[in-house]
Amino acid sequence: MPRHSIRPLWPLRRLAHVSLVLGALNVMATGGALASLPYASADGQRIILLIGALVSGVLFVFGTMLSLRKAAARRVGFGAVAMVTLAAGLFGLLAVAVPEAPMRFILWTVVLLGYVGYATLELVRWEGRRSELPRLTLPTFISYRRDDSRDTVGRIHDHLRERFDDQQLFLDVDDQAAGEDYRVAIEKALDQAAVLLVVIGPHWVSMPNRAGRRRIDDPGDMVRAEIESALRRGTRIVPVLVEGAVMPSPTELPEPLRPLSYRNAVVVRPDPDFASDMQRLVHALAGPGDVAALAAASH
């Protein structure tokens, strides 16, 4: 499969960061505009303040929704683009109306229009890449320790969403309701899961609890409960080694988890190898009915 056949959602993370930064900068730009117009009418100042607040607000909402990988983020994104276009038009008018300080208004207009072009391109590409890729049908449960590999798991989840429907992926951050018993949530998810991805980072085994003992040795540890449940059910388990981690030996694991040590692992390295390693992981997860779709996507 060629390298471009799986396009990650990482550009959308970058767009989220840019949107949040632009929202903050727009607050300052709006304040600067008001300071440059001390003799403007009260209505004119209110219009500038209202548009500035709306633009910054929608940018903050859009950036946050992208960061949280919300499905409605794309629709909000086009709304943000429309609001930023409106703000660019306003600052363009101010550049003409305030000859004493045109450059600051022109500069901010250029910044806003640059964001409009960049955001529109990324949103269109995102929708196109999600629709053109074949969708795999393997219900997958992702097990990990937040303090061990949270950021890497976020990227892995983004890539898998390129190939799986969201309903086929279980990630605790997204799918466990507040107040829900995590043991019940785990059992429900594993009832439907065909595979358990165990993401193992460098501190996965040694991570201590509040008492200073290894979490993995605690029968109530959530990660341990996930793996034990999958082993009892005979669910397929795929260890995923990240951030330079190595597969734990049987002696490093409590007795109920020792079969995990004998499972073949997939290594996912950081950039520049991340995309190609994710391709291998997707191939490893593909079921018999998905092989043809993957082969077709590689041409």
Same domain, 155 and 27: no
Same domain, 260 and 233: yes
Average pLDDT over residues 110-136: 76
Q: Are 190 and 233 in contact (CB under 8 A)?
A: yes
Radius of gyration for the alpha carbons in the chain, expressed in angstroms and rounded: 24
- Could you tell me which residues come within 8 angstroms of residue 199 by beta carbon, excluding any fewer than 6 positions away? 142, 143, 144, 149, 152, 153, 156, 240, 242
Distance CA 8, CA 116 (A): 22
Distance CA 163, CA 183 (A): 28
Q: Look at residues 132, 148, 180 and tell me which one is the last residue of a structural domain.
A: 132
Domain count of the chain?
2
Same domain, 97 and 187: no
Number of Cβ atoms within 10 Å of the Cβ of 250: 12
Distance CA 204, CA 146 (A): 10
Does the residue 153 lie in any domain?
A: yes
Please state the separation of Cα 44 from the chain's center in Å: 40
Same domain, 201 and 221: yes
- Could you tell me which residues come within 8 angstroms of residue 64 by beta carbon, excluding any fewer than 6 positions away? 16, 20
Same domain, 276 and 167: yes
Select from 122, 6, 23, 4 the least CA-distant residue to 73. 122
pLDDT tens-digit profile of 69-100?
Answer: 676 788 898 999 999 999 898 888 877 776 66
Average pLDDT over residues 133-156: 82
By residue count, the chain amounts to 299
pLDDT tens-digit profile of 246-279?
Answer: 999 999 999 999 999 999 999 999 888 888 898 8
Same domain, 160 and 58: no
Does the residue 28 lie in any domain?
A: yes
Does the residue 121 lie in any domain?
A: yes
Q: What is the pLDDT of residue 254?
A: 95
Same domain, 189 and 258: yes
Vertex 254: Cα angle to 144 and 234 (nearest 5): 65
Give the domain range for residue 238: 140-297
Using CB atoms within 10 Å of the CB of residue 178, give its burial: 0 to 12 exposed, 13 to 18 middle, 19+ buried.
Answer: exposed
Same domain, 19 and 86: yes
Does the residue 2 lie in any domain?
A: no
In this prediction, residue 135 has a pLDDT band, given cuts at 50, 70 and 90, of: low
Does the residue 51 lie in any domain?
A: yes
What CATH number did the domain enclosing 227 receive?
3.40.50.10140
Same domain, 165 and 109: no
Taking 70 as the threshold, does the pLDDT of residue 191 lie above it?
yes
Q: Is the dihedral of CA 234, 228, 154, 248 positive or negative?
A: negative
